[in-house]
Structure 1
Amino acid sequence: MNPRVLFLLCTAGGSILAEEPARIQVFMAMPAVVRRGSPVTLTWSATGTDRVKLEPLGVQLPSKGTLNHALIGRTTFWLSAVNAWGGQTLPVVVDVLPDEPPSPPPAIAPPTPPPVQPPVQPPAKSAASSPVPAPVPKVAKPSAMPAPPAEAGAIWIQFAALSAPASIARLQGDLRRAAGIETVLSDVADPQVPGLTLKRVRLGPFATPRAAKARLQELKPRLAGLALKPYVDRGEDPAPKAHPRRRRSGNPP
Structure 2
Amino acid sequence: MQYEGALSKMPTEIGDPIQYYLVFEDSFLNVNQLLGRDVSITFKGYQCLNCSKRKKIFRQGFCYDCFYSSAEVGDWIMRPELSTAHLGIADRDLEYESKVQLQPHVVYLALSSEVKVGVTRKTQVPTRWIDQGACEAVSILEVPNRYLAGITEVELKKRYVDKTNWRKMLQNEVLTLDLLEEKTRIYDFLPDEVKPHFNTDLNEHVVLNYPVLEHPKKVTGLNLDKTTQYSGKLIGIKGQYLIFHDGTVFNVRAFEGYVVNISV
TM-score bucket of the superposed structures, by smaller chain: under 0.3
TM-score, normalised to structure 1's length?
Answer: 0.26
Higher strand share: 1
Higher helix share: 2
TM-score, normalised to structure 2's length?
Answer: 0.25
Higher relative CO (Cα under 8 Å, sequence separation at least 6) belongs to 2
Q: Which has the larger radius of gyration?
A: 1
